[in-house]
Every structure is written in C-alpha cells, then in structure tokens.
C-alpha cells in the first residue's frame, strides 16, 4: 500500500511568489470586499516593483508602544522589521517584553537562562555578545527576551542610571557596528504593555515612537495617557523623542466600526497616521505559531503586502526626519 507523502510544514514550503503566480479573481469594487480585493492588487503591484527600500542617512530607533494590550504591537514590530530587512536594510529588533513573543515569532531561542536583553540592562553585558541573527531573514538581528526579564523591573530600581541603561548599551553597539562597516539602519524596540522601567528604558533609547492602534471599539482608550507619558519622558529624560508614526491595525473593510475608528484616528492625528491600514488576516495570525513573520509565512497574503507597504511609507517619511 502506497502511503501519501506528508505535507511539508509552512516553514519548509516554497514561497507562493516563487513557485507560481496567483490568479486574481474578478471582483466588484463597489462592495467592501471588492474594494479590498482591488487594494490587494494595487499593493501587490506597488511593493513588488520596489526591489529595495532607501537607506536612511542615520540609524532610526523606533519604540513600538501602546499601553493597551492586544493592539498588534508585537505583530507590528515583527513584520515591519521583516519587511525592512527583506527589502535590503539592516535591522535590529529589541524584545523588551518578558513574554518573549517577538523572539518566538522571529525564531530566536529564548528559554529561561538564555542571555539577552536582561543581561544587557541589568548586568551591563555588551550587546555584541547577546544579539542573534534571525535564521530566516538576512540582515535582521534580534536582542531576545527571556522570562528572566520579568524580575528586571525590581532590580533596576536600585541600579545607577536605571532609566538609560538600554540607551547606553545600544549606542555603544550601534557605534561599533558603524565602525565595522555594518551600520544598522533601523532599530525597533517592542515594549511591554505597561509604563514601567523597561518601557522607560525603551523611550530613553528611542527617537521615534510607533503606535499601533486597532480599528475596534475602545481603540483610543489609554492613548491620552500614553501621550502624556511620552511628553513627560521628553521633558525630563529624552527631549529628542517624538511620536512620528501611527499604524492602524485589525482593519475590517466590511464593518462601519473599522471605518469609523480609522476616520477618528486620522482626524486626531492627520500628519502621523500611515495611509496603509493593516487588515485582519488569518495568515498574519497563523504565522507566529510557525515562528515566522507573515512575510516569510505567506508573502502574497494581504497582511504581508500591507506590512510591506507600511514599511515603505516609514522609509519614505524618513527622508524628512532629522538625525540625532
């Protein structure tokens, strides 16, 4: 009896884009689903025509933050980083969340006792001893988080320069990379969903804040407090910190709620919201369980294309940004 060959896991499956072209179904763009399909085609054309993203003239350090949980913060960190690296840029991701979900999604080991960001900010270990390359994406490196980081908040209280320990370690690392001819183009710091010393360290180390906001009820809940906290850190610890980017996530073109929330956010922050909204996507939700970004899991999905376009917008906005 002939056995049926096992289906390979998504990690070992060839990219859809490299093995075959997906036929685009006909659609009526007067309906929400039709408009969504039309947007998918447009995004696919736009991002595929851009082979590489433009390199910034200085290292841009983003803090990905939102005190409200479940807004797509880690998903955004992982996929924006993946998009930038896949388009030829050098990217460092710093996982500051003790849960380590960003490390998991980028296939970086982070079991208890694994050296990572805890050793950097508590013990003062050099980052070049701790940063790990992402095995799936060239040019992407990760400073992982382990459960050891859960106790860092308490330990930092008694340390000298407790708010700026990450900044000091990061600046030494970035300088060393630049001197070696391997300058990092983008740093993305994924924060825990609370304003403790870990998040404060991220905001002292960062220069730009990227805020993901889900297109759902209570989307703006806590946003005012986050902005006040950023203003406080700017006033006392890091005057160069600025909210430059807001990304709408979990957008559902079929609902009035999503459209209403998107309109409200764009009205309040007209110069900071990216034109691209990240749609709800099954493939985006599945990817982390395979320790992948959605771009390596299914590069032709709506989520992958949207994150690529959002990353392109970020690089374009960088042309007007002032360096450190």
Q: How far apart are CA 242 and CA 31, in angstroms?
A: 38
pLDDT higher than 80, residue 25 = no
All structural domains of the chain with their residue ranges: 30-319
Q: Given 3-state DSSP classes, what are the helix, strand and coil percentages for the chain, each rounded to the nearest 5? A: 45, 15, 40
pLDDT higher than 60, residue 32 = no
Q: How far apart are CA 295 and CA 293, in angstroms?
A: 5
Q: Which residue has the higher pLDDT, 316 or 50?
A: 316
* Band of pLDDT at residue 24, cut at 50, 70 and 90: very low
Phi, psi of 297 (to 5 degrees): -80, -50
Nearest residue to 95 (alpha-carbon basis) of 177, 165, 198: 198
Q: Are 67 and 226 in contact (CB under 8 A)?
A: yes
Q: How far apart are CA 131 and CA 247, in angstroms?
A: 27
The token duo for 9 is 């896991």
pLDDT value at residue 113: 86
**pLDDT tens figures, 58-96:** 999 999 999 877 788 999 999 999 999 999 999 999 999
Question: Which residues sit opposite 277 in a β-bridge?
Answer: 248
Question: Which residues sit opposite 273 in a β-bridge?
Answer: 246
Q: How far apart are CA 96 and CA 143, in angstroms?
A: 9
* CATH number corresponding to 30-319: 3.40.50.300
* Band of pLDDT at residue 102, cut at 50, 70 and 90: very high
């Amino acid at each position: 009896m002939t056995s049926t060959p096992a289906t390979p896991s998504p990690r070992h499956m060839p990219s859809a884009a490299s093995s075959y072209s997906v036929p685009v179904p006909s659609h009526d763009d007067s309906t929400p689903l039709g408009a969504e399909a039309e947007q998918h085609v447009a995004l696919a054309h736009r991002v595929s025509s851009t082979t590489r993203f433009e390199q910034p003239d200085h290292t841009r350090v983003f803090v990905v933050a939102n005190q409200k949980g479940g807004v797509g913060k880690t998903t955004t960190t992982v996929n924006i980083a993946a998009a930038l690296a896949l388009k030829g840029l050098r990217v460092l991701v710093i996982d500051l969340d003790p849960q380590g979900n960003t490390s998991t999604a980028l296939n970086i080991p982070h079991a208890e006792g694994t050296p990572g960001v805890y050793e950097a900010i508590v013990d003062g270990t050099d980052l070049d001893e701790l940063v790990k390359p992402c095995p799936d994406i060239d040019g992407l490196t990760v400073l992982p988080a382990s459960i050891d980081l859960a106790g860092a908040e308490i330990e930092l209280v008694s340390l000298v320069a407790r708010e700026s320990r990450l900044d000091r370690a990061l600046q030494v690392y970035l300088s060393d990379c630049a001197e070696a001819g391997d300058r990092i183009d983008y740093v993305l710091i994924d924060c825990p969903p609370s304003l403790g010393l870990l998040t404060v360290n991220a905001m002292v180390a960062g220069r730009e804040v990227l805020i993901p906001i889900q297109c759902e009820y209570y989307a703006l809940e806590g946003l005012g407090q986050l902005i006040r906290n950023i203003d406080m850190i700017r006033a006392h610890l890091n005057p160069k910190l600025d909210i430059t980017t807001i990304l709408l996530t979990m957008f559902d073109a079929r609902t009035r709620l999503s459209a209403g929330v998107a309109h409200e956010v764009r009205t309040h922050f007209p110069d900071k919201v990216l034109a691209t909204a990240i749609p709800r996507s099954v493939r985006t939700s599945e990817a982390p369980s395979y320790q992948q970004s959605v771009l390596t899991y299914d590069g032709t999905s709506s989520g992958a294309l949207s994150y690529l376009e959002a990353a392109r917008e970020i690089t374009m906005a960088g042309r007007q940004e002032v360096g450190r």
